[in-house]
Structure 1
Amino acid sequence: MLLGVFFLPGVVVTTNLRINASKEMETLSGSCLHIPCTFEAIEGDASFNNSIEIIGIWYKNDHKNVNNLVFDSSKSVNAYPMNITGILKKNDCTTLFSDLNTSHQDKYYFRIENGKFKATADCDPIQIKVKDSAWKPNIAIDLTNLKEHQSVTVTCSAFTPCPHSPPELTWNLQQDSLRQTEKNTDGTFTTKIQENITLSDTHDGYNIRCSARYPVKGGNRTAETEVTLSVSYAPRNTSASISPSGLVSAGSRVELSCSSRAKPPIRSFTWFRISEHGAMNVSVGQDYSFNATEGGDYYCEATNDLGNQKSSVRFLRIKGILNGHLFWLIIALAIGLLVLIFLVIYVRCFKSKQPTHQQTQTPAGEEAAVQTLSTAAAEELQYGEVTFFKGKPEASSTSVEYGKQEETVYAHVKVSKSRKCSTHTTDSPDDIYAQVKKK
C-alpha cells in the first residue's frame, strides 16, 4: 500500500492504486509487446466511481513529471504507440505497445483518473526491455530412460511477447505440425508445436532441432534450439566374420568374430554350429578360434538387457573335403558315370561275339549253292572262291563248260581237313555250279 498526496488546483486527494502485472517484460526491437494488466483501486479521501469515465494513463520513468506522460486513453494522439485493449470498467488495464525500439526501454507506471479519484501505482512499475536477438525456443521431452518402441510427445514452444504477430516454429520432425498460440495463467502467451513419435534405435543420438522465427519491422529474428536423444535398444546389425575366408586347409587355425551394436552394450556373445540335430552351442565370447578339421555352418548371437539378435550363417569349407548336399550330388554323378561306361563296354563286347551273316541274292531265275563241310573233331575257317555258272554242262564231258555269264563272290566257308570240295552237278538245266577252291 502506498499513500500518495497530490496537490491539484482546488482539490487535495489522497488515493491508492495497485496493478497486477509482470515486474519485467521483454520484446524485440521492431515488434510489439502485450502487457497483461489488472488494477485495484483502494479508496482514500475520494471514491472510485465505475459509472463515469475512467481514464488510463502511462508514465515513463518518473510519474511525478507531467512531461513523462506517454499515453492517455482520452486522447486520440499520444507520444508512444500504445493502446489499452482491456476494459477499464472491469478493472482490466491490459495494454498493447506497438513498434518498440531501444529508446522505449525504461520503467513504466500506470495511473487511473476517475472524477475526483486519481491514483498512480507507484509501487508496481513495469520494467520494459527491448532486445535485438530472438529467444531460443524450448524443446520439452522427458529425456530419462528412453527405450525403443516407446511413444513420446515432443513439444517445441517459444515465448510470444506479442500474440498479434506470433513466431513461426519449424523443426526436423513432421513438418505439418499444427502451430498453436496459448494464453498462460499470468496473461502472457506461448506459441508451440507438438508431435508424437515412436522411438527406435535410429533415434539414439538423434538431434531434434526447432527454430523460432519472429516477424519484426523490416525482417525477421530467428533462434534455434537442439536436443539430443539417448535411446536404449536391443542388439542391431549383428554379423559374423570368418578368417581366413574361402577354402581353408585342414588343421589350419580359423578365427570367427561377432560384432553388433546395442544400448546398453552387449552383455554376451554366443557361437552356434548347425548340425543334423540342430544348432549346438560351441563357444561363448566375441571371438571363437579353433583348428579346422572339418567344415561346418556357424552363426553368433548377441544379447543385452533388452533382447538378442542372431547373425547370418557363415560357411567353413575345408580344402579337399566336400560337405552336405554338394558331396552327395558329386557321388551320385560319379556312380552314374561309372554305370554308363559299364553299359557301353558291355554292349560293345556283346556285339563283337555275334557271327556276321551275309546273304547273297541272285537275279530272278537263278539259284545258288554253297557247300559247307565240317567235322566234329576239328574245324578250320578257310577262304574260298565261289564261281557261279549259268550254262548247262554236258553229261559226257569231263570238263565243265561255263555259260556265257559268270559271277565270282567270296564267302567264309568252314571245311573239314579230311574232305575235299568237288563239283556237284544236278540234272536241272537251271542249276548253278559252285566251285570252292581251298587256299
Structure 2
Amino acid sequence: MKNYLSSTQMILRMFAADLLVFSSILSAVWCQPVMKVSVPKTLSSTSGSCLLIPCLFNISKEREHILDSSPEVTWRQGSLWSLYDKPDFISVRRQKEPVIEVVGDLRKKNCTSVMRNLSSQHSDRYFFRIQSKNFTMTDTKAVRINVSDSLAEPNVTVPVLREGEKVNMTCTAPAPCPSHPPNIKWDPALGGDISQRTQMNADGTQSVSAILNFVPSFHHHELKVNCVSIHPLHREDKPLLSHKTVILSVEYPPKKTWISLTGLVWLGNNMTLTCQSNANPPAVHRWFMKRAGVEEELGVSHVLSFTAAHENTGEYICEAQNPYGAMNSTNLQITVPGISFTAFLSILAVLLLLVFALLILMIYRRYKEPIRSETSQDQNIYANVSASAVKSRQLQSKKTYTINPVYGLKQNLPDESIYANYSSEK
C-alpha cells in the first residue's frame, strides 16, 4: 500500500512539474521571449564523423550580463519535459549523449557547436540550453539531427552543353564535419580542369563543390559521367563513398547524313528512301532530286515513298538541318528500267527453259555417239573372229596323209614332212 501511494505521489509530482514547464512555455509564447535561438530545422551526418551545428541566439538586455560570466552551454537531447531530469533517466541519457563542443563566441551571441563521435543512436531532437548562477534558459525550438551509416548521393548541376562552348559542371556534397571535408572527383574528367571549393550555405552549414571545366564534343553525347564523393571518418574504417551518375546530352550540328533504299528499282515497284543523320537535337530532313542538271525540291520528310516510274530516274539528295548547322548526303543515283519486274521474270524464265533444253540435247548427243562406236567395234571384232575360224577350217581340210610301211597310214604334220624330206635326201 505504501509503495502504491509513493508511486502515485511521484506521478503527481511529475505531472505538476510538467504542467509548470508547459505553463512557462505558454507564457513564453504570449510574452516577450527572454532568449531566441536560430538553428537549422534538420541536420544530417554519418556515423564515425562529426557534425557542425550552426547556432545564433538573442537574449534580452536584462540578461546580457550573464554572457560575461562564462555561462555553461549544453544541448538537451530528446525533450523539454522535466522527466529527463529525473535520476532514473540521467544515466541512460548520458550514455546516448554525444560529445558536444561550443566553438562559437558566446559574447557575440554565437552558439555554434560541434558534435563528435557520432553514431546512429544520436539521432534525436536537441534543444539549446544556457545556464549561469542565477539564470537557466532552454530554447523551445529544436534541431532534428539524423545520423546514418550511409551517405546521400551528391548533387550534380549540368548546364546546357553545346559543342565547342566551354562550360562548368558542378558536383556538390555536404560537409557536415568541417575538419574532415569530403573529397570530390569526376570520372571521367573529359579532358577538363577540376577545382574544389568550400562554401557556406544560407542556414550556416557547409558544403564542398568540385567544378569540372571542359569543352563538350559530340563524342561526349550520351556519355555516362560519375561524380564520386569520398568522406573520411574519425574511426579506422575505410572512407565512405557516394556517387551520382549523369548522362550527358550535347547539342551539335549534323555530323553524318546518308540515304537508305528499300525495294527493287523496277518499273511499277513501290520504293522507299529513308534519310538518316547524326545530330542533336534531331535534324529536319529535306529531299531534292537532280535530273538533267536541274535540281528540284521534293519536300520535307524523314521518309520518301513513291511508285517507280520513268520520271523518277535521277539523283536523290537529302539535307539534314538543325539549329546548329546543315549537312547533305551523298547523291543516290536511281535509274528506273523500261520493263517491270514481272515481265523481266517472264523473259528470264523463257531464257532459262531454252538453255535447259539445249543442255539436255547436248548431253543426249554426247552420250549417244560412244554407244554407236562401241557397237561397230564389237561387230568388227566378231567379223575378224569369224574369218579366222573359217581360215582355220580351210587349213585343216588341206592336211595330207602318207603311208608308212611300218606304222601304216599317218597324217603328214609339218615337222614330219620336213623329217621325211630330210630322210629322202639322204
TM-score (norm 1): 0.55
Task: Report the alpha carbon displacement of residue 153 of structure 1 after superposing the two structures with TM.
Answer: 3.0
Q: Is the 8 A contact 1:32 1:97 kept in 2?
A: yes
Partner Cα separation in structure 2 for residue 191 and residue 69 of structure 1: 38
RMSD: 4.1
Task: Report the alpha carbon displacement of residue 260 of structure 1 after superposing the two structures with TM.
Answer: 1.7
Partner Cα separation in structure 2 for residue 19 and residue 161 of structure 1: 20
Partner Cα separation in structure 1 for residue 266 and residue 142 of structure 2: 91
The aligned runs of 1:104-253 (5 Å cut-off) are 104-116=122-134, 118-142=135-159, 148-174=163-189, 176-216=193-233, 217=235, 218-241=237-260
Match of 1:34 among 41, 49, 52: 52
Partner Cα separation in structure 2 for residue 309 and residue 225 of structure 1: 36
Across the two proteins, how many residue pairs are aligned to each other?
294
Partner Cα separation in structure 1 for residue 120 and residue 75 of structure 2: 18
The aligned runs of 1:364-379 (5 Å cut-off) are none
The one-letter code sitting in structure 2 at the alignment partner of 1:308 is A
For the pair 1:301 / 2:349, whether they are aligned, the reply is: no
User: Structure 1 regions of 5+ residues with no counterpart?
Assistant: 6-14, 71-77, 320-439
Task: Report the alpha carbon displacement of residue 28 of structure 1 after superposing the two structures with TM.
Answer: 1.0
The one-letter code sitting in structure 1 at the alignment partner of 2:75 is W
Question: Between the two proteins, what is the percent identity of the paired residues?
Answer: 26
Partner Cα separation in structure 2 for residue 149 and residue 158 of structure 1: 29
Match of 2:101 among 65, 77, 83: 83
Name the counterpart of 2:114: 96
Partner Cα separation in structure 2 for residue 110 and residue 240 of structure 1: 73
Partner Cα separation in structure 2 for residue 280 and residue 266 of structure 1: 22
Partner Cα separation in structure 1 for residue 122 and residue 268 of structure 2: 89
Alignment deviations for residues 126-180 of structure 1 (CA, whole Å, 9 cap, x no partner): 222211220111112346xx65555543211112211211222223352751222
The one-letter code sitting in structure 1 at the alignment partner of 2:55 is C
Of 213-222 and 234-243, more deviation after overlay is shown by 234-243
**Change over 3 Å in CA distance of 1:255–1:187 after alignment to 2:** closer
The aligned runs of 1:237-316 (5 Å cut-off) are 237-241=256-260, 258-273=275-290, 280-281=295-296, 283-284=298-299, 286-287=303-304, 299-314=317-332
Q: Give the 3-state SS of the residue equivalent to 1:156 in structure 2.
A: strand
User: Structure 2 regions of 5+ residues with no counterpart?
Assistant: 1-21, 26-32, 338-426
Task: Report the alpha carbon displacement of residue 123 of structure 1 after superposing the two structures with TM.
Answer: 0.6
**Change over 3 Å in CA distance of 1:270–1:297 after alignment to 2:** closer
Q: Is the 8 A contact 1:135 1:159 kept in 2?
A: no
**Change over 3 Å in CA distance of 1:69–1:119 after alignment to 2:** farther
Name the counterpart of 2:16: none
Q: Give the 3-state SS of the residue equivalent to 1:48 in structure 2.
A: helix
Task: Report the alpha carbon displacement of residue 21 of structure 1 after superposing the two structures with TM.
Answer: 1.1
Task: Report the alpha carbon displacement of residue 124 of structure 1 after superposing the two structures with TM.
Answer: 2.2
Partner Cα separation in structure 1 for residue 240 and residue 189 of structure 2: 23
Partner Cα separation in structure 2 for residue 147 and residue 158 of structure 1: 26
User: Larger Rg: 1 or 2?
Assistant: 1
**Change over 3 Å in CA distance of 1:87–1:251 after alignment to 2:** closer
TM-score (norm 2): 0.56
Q: Give the 3-state SS of the residue equivalent to 2:195 in structure 1.
A: coil
Greater strand fraction, Structure 1 or Structure 2: 1
Partner Cα separation in structure 1 for residue 119 and residue 151 of structure 2: 14
The one-letter code sitting in structure 1 at the alignment partner of 2:318 is C
